[in-house]
């Protein structure tokens, strides 16, 4: 035999004798992760329907599919939590424990009204979303796409479902790669959704580009941090990071560097200052239902993921990073409250207030206790509900053919529509933390947990920041109740271009006014909200009042026992 043949026979014999490593099939529990699978399945079905169904039936089918999907996921979550099924599944990538059920529950409860708001076609005639986003602004195709008679883009519903699915995976991930994938899955649809506004297309597209660019950079930073953590402990599991940190025999540089970069990525998503620079522009430019969705649900996902990362992966290093994050939380509170004072646009003002609230919530996260985790989720629930309600009311205050988001346009609203003004005041009081609203109980929980964790001075700073935010919340209440209604608007109204170039009012068809205060063509007015928006506002009011007066059952429901599964 030749040398080659001998070598081949020898290696084959050696190979036959060497023990074969068994292939470990990952454990996959479909029943534990069913809510996520339902959401993903609904999204995929939505894409299929979008491709196959005739245009007429797309809207009702998509809306029903989206709502049913979220409802089914919510029901499964409640059942699973009731049964107490817990476990780590998908080969150690997803951990489904009580904390996960709580996070999924809050997320889905907030996703439902967001979807209802997206589906509303009455406030913005024809729907809040443009028919064709890819048309160049100003071109003929764009004018066709933004006509009132052009139906809204119904692909937004599967996109939103993909985002929801990503948001569900994000806090359940116990593996760094899964975390990163979830971050991308939840972000990419949101980038798209921001650019789909029917009115003010230019800033809508600008907000989408800004969000995309900043988000892409931050994802890269996040991935770099994950890589450093992998280099630190040799595994992508959170538990491995914690174990290695406890053992303490590796260089801390990789750990601290990776920790910092990962946290920055999460803080960006949660719009915590000073990583908040995308928030005002994106909130202002995106269609209002998408803003509501982002403000409520993205925050839940980001803070929930932060909870898991901090409580599982970074827990041994608490003494190192807790003061730093406390300072960041303080910075966020101050930035949000102080810069919010100067805002004159309602959406930007709510964006800066969300930055301040992110600072408060971060205090709950870094308390690193059962009380802190539970308080964080409760605060997110109450804040999310009030935010969705506030943005829902924003959609019905209009001038010309677009929204009237300048504060001056809201003058005297209490005389024209007292119920809406009262609801808005309730939401603003909840943001300000006035007792008997849900926001107050949220603040109480978070600040109690923070104080128990020894963050007393930061709680005092949070109180001062709350008082500052109360100033601009109060200004809106003053404008609504004590100012006289305006007949001309401080800013020019967006004008819809009709297909035939006729008068905007004629092209819109019938519009119902609550009050004939529209003297001049660009006077702000309040439309009668459609059924879906009414449902959203009503639910938000009930939750805000109910959780303010009787928060006990929900507080118990949202209790998260630590330690979390990993």
Partner 1 sequence: MNSWYLVVLIFLPVVGALVLAAMSGAPEKTVKLIALVFSLAELAVVVALWVSYRAATTDAASQLDVPFRETFSVTWIPYFGINFSLGVDGISLTMIALIAVLMPIVLGASWEEKLPAGRTIGGYFALLLVLQGAMVGVFAATNVFVFYVMFEVMLIPMYFLVGAFGGVRRAYAATKFFLYSLLGGLLMLASVIGLYVASGQVLGQGTFDWVTLQSIAAQIPESTQMWIFAGFAIAFAIKAPLVPLHTWLPDAGTEAPVGAGTLLVGVLDKVGTFGFLRICLPLLPAASSKLAWLIILLAVIGILYGAIVAAGQTDLKRFVTFTSIAHFGFIALGVFAFTTQSIAGAALYMVNHGIATGLLFLIVGMLTARGGSKLVGDYGGVWKVAPILGGFFLVAALATIAMPGTNSFISEFLVLIGTFSRHPAWAVLATIGIVLAAVYMLWIFQRTMTGPVRGAAVVGGRGPEDRLADGTEGGAVGGTGEHGDVAPALTPLPVGAAAVGGQPHAAGAAAHAEPGGHGARTKVKALFGDLNAREITVLTPLVLLVILLGVYPQPVLDVINPTAERTMVDAGYTDPVPAIDAPLGGGQ
Residues at the contact surface with partner 1, assessed by CB under 8 A? 415, 429, 432-436, 441, 443-444, 447-448, 451-452, 456, 459-460, 463-464, 466-467, 470-471, 474-475, 478, 481-482, 550-552, 555-556
Structure tokens at 178: 């899964």
Paired residues of 398 in beta bridges? 403, 525
Structure tokens at 285: 């430019």
Would you say 21 or 556 has its CB closer to partner 1? 556
Q: From CA 167, how far away is CA 207, in angstroms rounded?
A: 21
Burial of 294 (0-12, 13-18, 19+ CB in 10 A): buried
Cβ at position 357, least distance to partner 1 in Å: 15
Which residue spans within 166-275 are E strands per DSSP? Answer: none
Would you say 294 or 362 has its CB closer to partner 1? 362
Please spell the DSSP secondary structure of 476-533, one letter per residue.
HHHHHHHSPPPSS-SSPPP-PPPTT---HHHHH----BSS----STT--EEBPPPHHH
Cβ at position 501, least distance to partner 1 in Å: 41
Cβ at position 482, least distance to partner 1 in Å: 5
Q: From CA 230, how far away is CA 243, in angstroms rounded?
A: 13
Would you say 355 or 558 has its CB closer to partner 1? 558
Q: Is residue 109 within 8 Å of residue 74, measured between CB atoms?
A: yes
Q: From CA 540, how far away is CA 292, in angstroms rounded?
A: 12
Residues 6+ apart with CB under 8 A from 234: 240, 244
Cβ at position 462, least distance to partner 1 in Å: 8
Cβ at position 435, least distance to partner 1 in Å: 4
Q: From CA 405, how far away is CA 474, in angstroms rounded?
A: 17
Would you say 193 or 377 has its CB closer to partner 1? 377
Would you say 229 or 438 has its CB closer to partner 1? 438
Q: From CA 441, how far away is CA 156, in angstroms rounded?
A: 34
Would you say 112 or 441 has its CB closer to partner 1? 441
Cβ at position 191, least distance to partner 1 in Å: 38
Q: How far is CA 134 from CA 99, 145, 161, 195, 281, in A?
A: 40, 10, 21, 9, 21
Would you say 128 or 343 has its CB closer to partner 1? 343
Would you say 239 or 428 has its CB closer to partner 1? 428
Cβ at position 433, least distance to partner 1 in Å: 7
Three-state secondary-structure class, residue 509: coil
Cβ at position 359, least distance to partner 1 in Å: 15
């Amino acid at each position: 035999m030749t040398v080659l043949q001998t070598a081949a026979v020898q290696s084959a014999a050696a190979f036959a004798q060497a023990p074969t490593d068994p292939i470990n099939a990952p454990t996959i529990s479909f029943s534990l992760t069913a809510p996520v699978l339902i959401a993903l399945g609904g999204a995929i079905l939505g894409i299929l329907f979008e491709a196959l169904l005739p245009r007429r039936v797309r809207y009702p089918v998509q809306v029903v599919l989206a709502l049913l999907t979220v409802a089914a996921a919510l029901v499964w979550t409640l059942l699973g939590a009731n049964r107490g099924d817990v476990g780590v599944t998908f080969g150690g990538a997803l951990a489904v424990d009580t904390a996960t059920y709580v996070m999924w529950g809050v997320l889905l409860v907030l996703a439902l009204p967001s979807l209802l708001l997206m589906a509303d076609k009455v406030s913005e005639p024809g729907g809040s979303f443009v028919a064709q986003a890819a048309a160049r602004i100003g071109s003929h195709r764009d004018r066709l796409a933004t006509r009132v008679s052009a139906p809204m883009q119904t692909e937004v519903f599967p996109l939103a479902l993909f985002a929801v699915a990503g948001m569900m995976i994000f806090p359940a991930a116990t593996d760094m790669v899964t975390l990163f994938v979830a971050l991308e899955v939840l972000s990419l649809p949101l980038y798209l959704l921001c650019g789909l506004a029917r009115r003010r297309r230019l800033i809508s597209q600008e907000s989408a580009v800004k969000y995309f660019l900043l988000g892409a950079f931050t994802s890269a930073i996040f991935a770099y941090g994950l890589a450093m953590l992998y280099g630190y402990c040799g595994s992508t599991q959170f538990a491995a990071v914690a174990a290695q940190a406890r053992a303490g025999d590796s260089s801390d540089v990789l750990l601290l560097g990776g920790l910092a970069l990962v946290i920055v990525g999460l803080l960006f998503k949660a719009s915590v200052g000073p990583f908040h620079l995308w928030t005002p522009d994106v909130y202002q430019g995106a269609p209002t239902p998408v803003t509501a969705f982002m403000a409520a649900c993205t925050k839940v996902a980001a803070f929930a993921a932060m909870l898991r990362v901090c409580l599982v992966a970074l827990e041994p290093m608490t003494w190192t990073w807790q003061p730093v994050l406390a300072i960041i939380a303080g910075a966020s509170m101050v930035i949000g409250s102080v810069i919010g004072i100067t805002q004159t646009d309602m959406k930007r003002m709510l964006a800066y207030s969300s930055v301040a609230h992110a600072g408060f919530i971060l205090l709950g996260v870094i308390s690193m206790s059962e009380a802190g985790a539970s308080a964080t989720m409760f605060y997110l629930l109450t804040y999310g509900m009030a935010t969705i309600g506030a943005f829902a009311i924003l959609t019905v205050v209009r001038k010309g053919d677009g929204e009237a988001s300048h504060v001056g346009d809201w003058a005297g609203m209490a005389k024209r529509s007292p119920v809406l003004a009262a609801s808005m005041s309730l939401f603003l009081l909840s943001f300000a933390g006035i007792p008997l609203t849900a926001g107050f109980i949220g603040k109480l929980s978070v600040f109690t947990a923070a104080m128990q964790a020894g963050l007393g001075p930061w709680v005092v700073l949070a109180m001062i920041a709350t008082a500052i935010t109360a100033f601009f919340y109060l200004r809106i209440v003053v404008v609504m109740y004590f100012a006289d209604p305006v007949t001309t608007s401080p800013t020019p109204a967006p004008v819809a271009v009709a297909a035939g170039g006729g008068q905007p009012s004629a092209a819109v068809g019938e519009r119902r006014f609550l009050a004939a205060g529209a003297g001049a063509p660009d006077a702000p007015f309040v439309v009668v909200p459609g059924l879906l928006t009414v449902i959203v506002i009503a639910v938000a009011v009930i939750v805000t009042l109910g959780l303010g007066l009787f928060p006990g059952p929900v507080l118990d429901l949202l209790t998260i026992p630590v330690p979390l599964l990993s």
